Amino acid sequence: MSDDAPREEGARRGLTRRSLFKGAGAAAAAGAVFRSLDASAKDDVPAGPRTQGPGKAKLTLQVNGQSREVQAEPRETLLEVLRLPLDLTGAKPVCNRGQCGACTVWLDGTPVYACSVLAVEAEGRKVTTVEGLGNPDDMHAVQSAFVEKDALQCGFCTSGLVMSAAWAVGKHGPDLSEEQARAACSGNLCRCGTYPHVVEAAIAAAKTAKKGG
């Protein structure tokens, strides 16, 4: 997003950047200009940044290895787009301000709070959700370990904790220490009190992981 971005597309629709800002307010404008890596962009539109919004615009996300096209407002968060319209409801809305970690997903392999990432920011990056890690019949080692060690109770924080713990296991492999597991999960709140079993699960899963896995 930069100020000298070409304005052709917006201008063609009778919108200038200025009028758009004026009409939509700062919150919407913040996400109104974004880099589209959508290869299907029309041939007569120069490649590079284009202006869309503040209404719904087409967005292509790479989610769990699949290309998913959605209509979303530029101000919508990745969490909102994942849950509706994509119906990937593993990531949970709990605090909606980056405090609890229940919406943790991976962006290019790194855990992020999906409530604090705009959907447009995720365009062109690999999004992995808890559903992409495994399913009930074919679980990721960390998911199996969560079940085995009972690292879940009500389960509402579990998706986020699985994503944090699986990241730590992937990063540290069999050498994962309790301190590292705890640090990786320190941004995830749980109300039922699963923390001790989460650490046990992460360590157990790490023992089966390959180094640098």
Partner 1 sequence: MPRTVTYKVGLVGHDKYKQGVEGIEQDLTVEIHELDAQPWGRDDVFRHVGHDVPRVDGPVKATGAAKYTYDINRPDLCVAGLVVSPHAHANIVSVDASAAKAMPGVLAVKTYEGRRVTYAGGIAAAVCAESESVLGDALNAIQVVYDVKPGPAVTDDAMKDGAPVVDPRRKTNVAGPRRGPLVRGKPDEAIAGADVVVEATYRTPVQTHSCLEPHGCMCEIHDDGTATVWASTQATAFFANRRLTQALGLPRNKVRVLTHHMGGGFGSKFSALEWDVICAEFARETKRPVRLMLSRRVEHLVGGNRPDSIQRMRLAGSKDGTFAALDGETWGTSGNGTGGAGSANFMVYELPNLSMVQNGVATFSGIGRAFRAPRHPQGFYALESVIDRYAYAAGVDALAVRMKNDRHPVRQVQWRIGAERIGWRKNRRQVPGSDKGPVKRGVGCASGRWGQGGRHMVGRSQLVFDVVVDKDGGIAFQNAVQDIGTGTRTLIAVIAAEELGLAPGDIDVRIGDTNFPPGPGSGGSTTAPSIGAAVRNGALRVKESLAGLLALEWGVDEGALRWKDGVCRGPDGKQATVREACALLGEDGLRVRGRRERNWRSPYRETAGCQFAQVAVDTETGFITVEKVVAVHDCGRVIDSLTARSQVNGGVIQGISYALYEEKHTDRNLGDMVNPTFDTYRILGMEDCPPIDVVLTSVVAGYSNTGMAGLGEPATVPTPGAIANAVYNAIGVQVTDLPMTPARVLEALERRQG
Whichever of 109 and 155 has its CB closer to partner 1, that residue is 155
Q: Which of 37, 45, 47, 84 binds partner 1 (CB under 8 A)?
A: 84
Q: Is 80 in the site for partner 1 (CB under 8 A)?
A: yes
Whichever of 65 and 212 has its CB closer to partner 1, that residue is 65
Minimum gap (Å) between residue 155 Cβ and partner 1: 4
Whichever of 157 and 169 has its CB closer to partner 1, that residue is 157
Write the interaction track for partner 1 spanning residues 98-137; mark x where CB under 8 A is met and - where it is not.
Answer: -xx-x--------------------------xxx-xxxxx
Whichever of 43 and 87 has its CB closer to partner 1, that residue is 87
Q: Please name which of 95, 76, 74 lies closest in space to residue 187, comparing C-alpha atoms.
A: 95
Q: Which of 13, 22, 58, 191 binds partner 1 (CB under 8 A)?
A: 191
Instruction: Give the per-residue SS3 of the chain.
Output: CCCCCCCHHHHHCCCCHHHHHHHHHHHHHHCCEECCCCCCCCCCCCCCCEECCCCCEEEEEEECCEEEEEEECCCCEHHHHHHCCCCCCCCCCCCCCCCCCCCEEEECCEEEEHHHCEHHHHCCCEEECHHHHCECCECCHHHHHHHHCCCCCCCCCHHHHHHHHHHHHHHHHHHCCHHHHHHHCCCCCCCCCCHHHHHHHHHHHHHCCCCCC
Q: Please name which of 123, 135, 126 lies closest in space to residue 159, comparing C-alpha atoms.
A: 135
Q: Is 41 in the site for partner 1 (CB under 8 A)?
A: no
Provide the sign of the torsion angle of the four alpha carbons 186, 190, 193, 194, taken in this order. Answer: negative
Minimum gap (Å) between residue 200 Cβ and partner 1: 11
- Residues 135-164, interacting with partner 1 (CB under 8 A): 135-137, 139, 143-144, 146-148, 150-159, 162
Minimum gap (Å) between residue 32 Cβ and partner 1: 14
Whichever of 47 and 183 has its CB closer to partner 1, that residue is 183
Summarize as ranges the residues that interact with partner 1 (CB under 8 A). 73, 75-76, 80, 83-84, 87-97, 99-100, 102, 129-131, 133-137, 139, 143-144, 146-148, 150-159, 162, 182-183, 185-186, 188-199
